[in-house]
Amino acid sequence: MSENIIEVRGLRTQFGRHVVHDGLDLDLRRGEILGVVGGSGTGKSVLLRTIVGLNQPRAGTVRVFGQDVGALAGPAREALERRWGVMFQGGALFSSLTVRENVEVPLNAVPDLAPEVRQGLAELKVSMAGLPWNANDKYPSDLSGGMKKRAGLARALALDPEILFLDEPTAGLDPIGADAFDRLIVELRDALNLSVFLVTHDLDTLHACCDRIAVLAEKKVLVSGTMAEMLQVDHPWVHEYFHGPRARAAMTTGRAKE
Ligand SMILES: Nc1ncnc2c1ncn2[C@@H]1O[C@H](COP(=O)(O)OP(=O)(O)OP(=O)(O)O)[C@@H](O)[C@H]1O
């Protein structure tokens, strides 16, 4: 079995009196694409943000590459953070910067990088994310939703991460755009040896991309496993999710064949 590169144990997160996670355990294995699903508000995005250290848990540990994220500070924490890239919902781009400049932002942290090298690296990532050359000089307001997501992906790839976190990458895309994005995720994983933590509601993405699925419910990861294993789970929400009409459509037709 592959090594766990993320291990979340006994995680508790809460905002005021609202407990989002309680006793949550989760693993991400090296090289896999893990789909994280769950009803609205079950804490998928909060889990992503907690793993990357943007949200402070009340209890539990998050270990990435064997290191306790919460216990690291300063240069050690920055070095760990350079090993992952995050694509937030909607791309979370700086509106006053062009696409290339957005992708250059993480590269600014690399010491002694000549401006033309930084620019060239940013352009390479823009192209790897499947954007045309002329997208480099565009501002986020000039981009379609799908292009914004690709620009966000390019920025997440800027520092050659080993782990890619994707928050609802296909939300709001048309079926053809979403299918292309699914294929891009798999191609990038294969080409760059990435491990991918992918928050999604998209059943087609689960079928097309994910090696394993983790279901968030009842404040924890209720079950995790392959799609075949999910289909055997008889918890009411899990059963409805994986056997409902949309699930049947995703299983029998798939977006690519629509
Ligand atoms: N900064 C915050 N302050 C207070 N509450 C928050 C904060 N961030 C998230 N929450 C709450 O935590 C819960 C989980 O939010 P989260 O965005 O993780 O859900 P989700 O599973 O990603 O939902 P969706 O599928 O709708 O995007 C929600 O009830 C949300 O309102």
Q: What value does the mean pLDDT take over residues 210-220?
A: 95
- Give domain status of residue 173, yes or no: no
Q: Could you tell me the residue range of the domain that residue 151 belongs to? A: 84-160
- Give domain status of residue 106, yes or no: yes
Ligand 1 in reach of 51 Cβ (< 6 A) = no
For residues 179 and 169, give the distance between their C-alpha atoms in angstroms, rounded to a whole number. Answer: 11
- The closest-lying atom of ligand 1 relative to the alpha carbon of residue 42 is 21
Which residues, listed in sequence order, are joined to residue 214 by a DSSP beta bridge?
Answer: 36, 224
pLDDT digits (tens, 9 = 90+) for 111-163: 888 999 999 999 999 999 999 999 999 999 999 888 999 999 999 999 999 99
Instruction: Please report the pLDDT score of residue 89 as a whole number.
Output: 83
HSE at residue 80, side-chain half, CA atoms within 13 A, is: 20
The total number of residues written for the chain in this structure: 258
- Give domain status of residue 121, yes or no: yes
pLDDT digits (tens, 9 = 90+) for 23-53: 999 999 999 999 999 999 999 999 999 999 9
Ligand 1 in reach of 46 Cβ (< 6 A) = yes
Mutate to test the pocket of ligand 1, among 17, 19, 45 (most ligand atoms within 8 A of CB): 45
140-142-148-150 Cα dihedral, nearest 10 degrees? -110
Handedness of CA 27, 28, 30, 33 (dihedral sign): positive
Shortest CA distance to 103 belongs to which of 126, 80, 82?
Answer: 126
- Give domain status of residue 129, yes or no: yes
Q: What is the reported pTM?
A: 0.93
Instruction: Give the chain's domain count.
Output: 1
pLDDT averaged over every residue in the chain: 91
* Helix, strand, or coil (residue 62): strand
| pLDDT at 244 exceeding the cut of 50 | yes
Ligand 1 geometric centre to CA of 5 (Å): 25
- Give domain status of residue 120, yes or no: yes
Lateral strand order in the sheet of 59-64: 18-29, 4-15, 59-64, 67-68
- Give domain status of residue 123, yes or no: yes
- Give domain status of residue 105, yes or no: yes
Q: What is the largest CA-CA distance in the chain?
A: 57
Shortest CA distance to 84 belongs to which of 150, 184, 149, 165?
Answer: 165
Mutate to test the pocket of ligand 1, among 26, 37, 44, 215 (most ligand atoms within 8 A of CB): 44
- Give domain status of residue 112, yes or no: yes
For residues 110 and 121, give the distance between their C-alpha atoms in angstroms, rounded to a whole number. Answer: 12
For residues 61 and 57, give the distance between their C-alpha atoms in angstroms, rounded to a whole number. Answer: 8
Instruction: Please report the pLDDT score of residue 145 as a whole number.
Output: 87
**0.95 surpassed by complex ipTM:** yes
